[in-house]
Structure 1
């Protein structure tokens, strides 16, 4: 399938994977909605993309702005074809040292915010009978990784939400993708929260030597176009870990078939 002419909304679009996604979708002929908190950085990405862009800065954890943002995007685009939930924040601290507020912040950004935006966009996609929703997770959403307990909890959680959502909406013409990057050359480590909630400020060698963001998103778009539901974008040991925890397509098919076989009707009937 082609993304040409489709309205693609990307959160966390001001840098890293989000900015690379914007460039890739622009090259594919998509119409872009670019969201994040840094207006100047979003404007710079929009300039790189050229073409048809709506720059829409907002804080993803502010639920009061979600509905107006969705209305603005729908009015501009005529309907959202692709939602990429990319905004997120990572962690570098041992659980025993980490203040609970760090868990609250990371779960709010990485789990609850993408759920809130997806829930707001979902009715329009269902009404149109088409649409794609992608969650940018992490290999840490497949395998528990030290010093990332909050991050893993949120990323495992968003994967579960997406899997269940896919089972509910696949028969309605919607596609839901879980994307699991390994180490990609971004500022994810520099921006990660430490035990007291402060920004780490330094990178990891494995991140600095990771996959180029443009190469990573090229695979993401290709696999999305092919209808892949779990997209693992990693190399070496990270790829091996992700593949070892990959959900078999047969299982995803079986779960998705529950809906077409009248699962909801049976559940409601049994509850009477």
Structure 2
């Protein structure tokens, strides 16, 4: 896929993997719509785009406010008259046990990670089908393949995304719509710092695994390669991605191993 002049909408674009995707796509000549909750941070990202900054449009949104997302999708479509690729990179992680986590926090995680992504994608889908093409890119996680301690609702939201978009892919394969599920492992971003605890407060600490993980830029490059090759699903990261295969082929051994592994 040549990304030049492609219309790409990226959520979670103010930091982490989403921000890294903005810079790489800007260099390719793509026309961008960038979204997150923080308008000021989005404008800072826009200012760092070296090529054609006028082709980078800021559209703030809050994925937790799921009832607003259909209107936001209409607003985004009107900017260029179409959207070729939606990259759902927005989300929130968790650091708390099942027993301690308040129900409102669990609902918040599901609203942002699952319903936010689903509603935004579903809002664009009829328009993409009408024009006969489109890519829906979903950032899941290797935790979308197996759960670990302190991430129950986060893992649930990612498992749900994979089931939903696997089903959607089957339904739209003959309509020119591609679905790419991206499963990153440990990527060096602030996702751990911004994770919510049992009462919704920010965790505020960097996970050592995250600190030693792949750079967001390297991850973004692999995501673009996956979109280019229309990969249905791709694992991105280091040795942690082997856990997906251990879970599948040696579940008993994997279960014992994951219980002992330090994950915070």
TM-score (norm 1): 0.87
Unaligned runs of 5+ in 1: 247-272
Residue 243 of structure 1, CA deviation: 4.5
User: Which residue of structure 1 lines up, in the alignment, with residue 45 of structure 2?
Assistant: 45
Alignment RMSD? 1.3
Aligned to 1:88: 91
Per-residue deviation, 1:67: 2.8
In structure 2, what is the Cα distance between the partners aligned to 1:245 and 1:24?
A: 33
The alignment status of 1:203 with 2:206, answered yes or no, reads yes
User: Residues 202-242 of structure 1, C-alpha deviation per residue, up to 9 Å, x if partnerless?
Assistant: 11111011100000110110111001010110101x11123
**Structure 2 Cα separation of the partners of residues 133 and 244 of structure 1:** 28
Residue of structure 2 equivalent to 1:108: 111
Instruction: Tell me the residue number matched to 1:19.
Output: 19
Q: Aligned with 1:4: secondary structure?
A: coil
Contact kept, 8 Å, 1:11 with 1:35, in 2: the verdict is yes
Q: Answer yes or no: is the 8 Å Cα contact 1:91–1:150 preserved in 2.
A: yes
Q: Deviations over 1:251-271 (max 9, x none)?
A: xxxxxxxxxxxxxxxxxxxxx
Which residue number corresponds to residue 10 of structure 1? 10
1:240 to 238, 242, 254: 242
Deviations 1:115-162 (A, max 9, x none): 010110101001011000011111110111111000000000011111
Q: Secondary structure of the equivalent of 1:132?
A: strand
Which residue of 1 is the match for residue 254 of structure 2?
none
Q: TM-score, normalised by structure 2?
A: 0.90
The number of equivalent residue pairs is: 245
**Are residues 123 and 211 of structure 1, via their aligned partners in 2, closer, same or farther at CA, if it must alter by over 3 Å?**
same
Deviations 1:141-195 (A, max 9, x none): 0111111000000000011111001111111111001100001111111111111
Equivalent positions of 1:88-237 (< 5 A) are 88-236=91-239
Q: Which stretches in structure 2 are left out of the alignment for 5+ residues?
A: 249-264
